Amino acid sequence: MVTKSLSPPNVARDLAFSGWIDFFRGVAALAVLYSHARVLFLKSMAPDYAISIISRGMYFLSGYGHISVMVFFVLSGFLVGGTVIRARRDDRWSWRRYAIQRGTRLYVVLIPALLLTAVWGCAEKIQRESLVANDDTAVAIIPSQTIRENSSPAIFAGNLAFLQTIFVPPFGSNPPLWSLANEFWYYVIFPLAWIALARGQTRLWTRLLYFAIAALLLVMVGKGIAIYFIIWLMGCLVWLLPEIPALADKSRRRTVTALAGGMFLTVLVAVRFIRGWNDIVLDLLVGVAFAVLLYCLKHNRLRARFPRIRQSAAFLAEFSYTLYLVHLPPLIFLRACLTYETAWPASPWAWTKVFLIIAAVLFYAYAISLVTERQTDRVRRWLEGLIGLTRARYESASVGEARQSSISAAAASDAIGSLTNIAT
């Protein structure tokens, strides 16, 4: 990866901010995995369920799977949306290059993930045929009958076209694919809207056409995806906003950042206790709180510290997209093998088994990422060459993406996964 030289203070700040982004990506992906593992294997916690304080805390922490996707959305808006804004501002925008960058990032993992989902679905069917399902959430998360109904070739094709939750359900035993449809259509809609609305040399009729297409796509994808676009746009806003004068002072900047972190943690706890509020409102609240924290971290100018923690976060982040897409089908297969008839009551031995399963799925996802997510840049270069874009133009685009996301040279090749995040 070729990057322009940065001054040492900027390198230190970039490394620190890169570490935070990696941290959030890694923790969010782990939260999704942990949430599904707990639900699938351990008995639900009823009011009269006598368990230890530690187990209650572990149950509480397992409720952040969906919330983590909001973190992925904000990060994706910041990184991918920022790429669009910067390319347009620097007059180097190319639909063809953008389509290759985003398409390879998505499909290099998605296609193998869908094929593996089909394989795990067949294995789960064979395993559970003679079993009787229990009535706990371990089955409620996705009944085997639903897996069968959602495994047709037409639904497979619909998921390849990112039409899940729009015209078809998520494929097979992989409900997390829902958020990938959100991401894809945000990738399409945002540049259309930005080119239509931002200043530039684009002709009026082209702007009107782009705006009309963006509006039609928002109608097509439906109310749910359109509303969550607001959370994605929060990341774009973080990229756009300049540093406010109040953050110029070092001590004040650190105080504001600490307050933003405390507010985010408070919101994370509060949304688990609030009752009677619409789920979308709570998700928007999480998105706002995280966007504020991300904005503060972006301008905090802290030097990079704790290299081992940063390395661990970077390791998790670099296969977080793969982990998100491939983790649930093997968990559901193991559910059929281990807890299909009776979920485990919470106990030290039960928790140990859950964490061993989580470790095994992490290893599985990492191994898959070596031949999928890790090869994204290679596939991009091959496609760039295949359609005639020069290596110099490819490197220029990659540098722009790296600089806009404030990611250091070591982490510039892929800033997020879906993400969840959601991935770029």
Helices 8-41 and 53-61, axial angle in degrees (round to 10) = 110
Polymer length in residues for the chain:
424
pLDDT at 280: 92
pLDDT per residue as tens digits for the range 115-148: 999 999 999 988 887 777 776 766 656 778 889 8
Confidence of residue 91 (pLDDT cuts 50, 70, 90): confident
Q: Picking from 45-54, 151-160, 261-270, 378-387, which range would have the lowest pLDDT averaged per residue?
A: 45-54
Q: Rounded to a whole number, what is the largest CA-CA distance in the chain?
A: 68
pLDDT score of 418: 37
The sign of the dihedral angle between the CA atoms of 359, 364, 367, 368 is: negative
CA 78 to chain CA centroid, Å, is 12
Mean pLDDT over each residue of the chain, to the nearest integer: 84
Structural element, H or E, at residue 93: none
Which amino acid does the sequence have at 324? Y
pLDDT of amino acid 162: 97
CA distance 244 to 241: 8
Residues 6+ apart with CB under 8 A from 401: 79, 83, 86, 101, 412, 415
Per-residue model confidence (pLDDT) at position 101: 93
Q: What is the pLDDT of residues 369-420, one digit of tens each?
A: 999 999 999 999 988 888 776 544 444 444 444 333 333 323 333 333 333 3
Work out the pLDDT band at 201, boundaries 50, 70, 90. confident
Q: 417 Cβ partners below 8 Å, 6+ apart?
A: 25, 29, 317, 318, 319, 320, 321, 322, 324, 373, 423, 424
Contact yes or no for 62/35 (Cβ under 8 A): yes
| Over residues 70-85, mean pLDDT | 95
Q: Where would I find the H helices in 62-94? A: 65-76, 82-89
CA distances from 410 to 3, 11, 26, 291, 413 (A): 10, 11, 17, 24, 8
CB 423 within 8 A of CB 34: no
Hunting for tokens 């297409």 — which residue is that? 213
The amino acid present at 169, given as its one-letter code, is P
CB-count burial class (<10 Å; 0-12, 13-18, 19+) for 110: buried
Q: What pLDDT was estimated at residue 398?
A: 44
Hey, what are 14's tokens?
């970039």
Q: What is the pLDDT of residue 420?
A: 35
> Measured between alpha carbons, how far is 77 from 237 in angstroms, rounded to an integer?
8
Q: How much is the average pLDDT of 190-200?
A: 89
Q: What is the DSSP letter of 168?
A: B
Contacts of 172 (CB under 8 A, 6+ apart): 117, 118, 120, 121, 147, 150, 151, 155, 329
3-class secondary-structure state, position 419: strand
Residue 47 CB neighbours (<10 A):
4
CA within 13 Å, CB half, 251: 0
Residues 6+ apart with CB under 8 A from 163: 181
What is d(CA 81, CA 76) in angstroms, rounded to the nearest whole number? 7
Gyration radius of the chain's alpha carbons: 22
User: Which amino acid is present at 393?
Assistant: R
pLDDT value of position 218: 96
Phi and psi angles of residue 182, each rounded to the nearest 5 degrees, phi first: -55, -55
pLDDT tens digits for 231-270?
999 999 999 998 887 777 778 888 888 999 999 999 999 9
Are 388 and 65 in contact by the 8 Å Cβ rule? The answer is: no
Give the confidence band of 61 by pLDDT, cuts at 50, 70, 90: very high
Backbone angles phi, psi at 162, to 5 degrees: 60, 40
